[in-house]
Amino acid sequence: MRLEVEDLHVHYGRIHALRGVSLSVGDAEIVAVLGANGAGKSSLLRAIMGLAPVSAGRVALDGVDITDWPPHRRVRCNLSLVPEGRRIIMSLTIHENLLMGAFARHDAHTIKPEVDAVYGRFSNLAARRHMAASVLSGGEQQMLAIARALMTNPELLILDEATEGLAPIIRQEIWKVLGKLKASGQSILIVDKNVQVLARLADRHYVLERGRVRWRGSSAALGADLDAIRRYVGV
């Protein structure tokens, strides 16, 4: 099992953002976290990455307890987050942004072929690799954020609102890339509101409401409970 989260609690002062959340992500598995705004989804991802305070519970990666590890150590152990809002560096070129994703790696000899592989997945980035990232559309910036995260060579790729606000054609391209990554053996944890697409793409689902897991199950079970799930998600 790649990731195990057990009975996780997160507080921001008096606000109890996560209330005993447990989930897991296995090898070559896509797991989706669904829920309305304020359900605790981003707090969960931030806690997994060490960016939010954990007041109780446990986070483990490949059986190793990483609950108290700082974020940079988690990145070096192959956890990678594509944050909401992308946060690419506009003044750097597309290629330089990609190389920023590999800054913590010590296997320099493998970086060039992996850059080439990323460009193979995102041909629109490859064509403008030496241009500033500021020339990209919002959807292309999201593709760059995903490509940069892949340059960390992650065991687990985590995406927060991967397709929020993007044009339908760009969304389809991102879903296609994630499907190919899964087929290649990549483990993925994703937060998104597109329930219908995730029902086809993901293996398992967790639905959060007010910091608690209200529903969990397979894509087949999600399809059977789709109307109830939509009420939780707010779509």
pLDDT of residue 106: 66
Q: For the chain, list the domains and their CATH numbers.
A: 1-78+157-166+187-235 (3.40.50.300), 85-153 (no CATH)
List the pLDDT tens digit at each of the 235 positions of the chain.
Answer: 689 999 999 999 999 999 999 999 999 999 999 999 899 999 999 999 999 999 999 999 999 999 999 998 998 888 999 988 778 889 899 999 998 888 766 676 778 888 888 898 888 899 899 999 999 988 889 999 999 999 988 999 999 988 888 888 888 989 999 999 999 999 999 998 888 889 899 999 999 999 999 999 998 888 777 777 777 787 6
Which token pair is 135? 């020339």
Alpha helices in the chain (DSSP H): 41-48, 71-76, 94-100, 108-121, 123-126, 138-150, 168-183, 195-201, 219-224, 226-233
Query: Which residue from 135, 116, 134, 136 is spatially nearest to 126, judged by alpha carbons?
Result: 116
Q: What is the pLDDT of residue 52?
A: 94
What letter does residue 75 receive in the DSSP assignment? H
| Beta-bridge mates of residue 56 | 9
Residue type, 64: V
Predicted TM-score (pTM) of the model is 0.91
Q: How far from 167 is each of 20, 85, 158, 187, CA to CA, in Å?
A: 35, 15, 21, 25
Separation of alpha carbons 43 and 152, rounded Å: 22
Residue 110: its pLDDT value, please?
Answer: 77
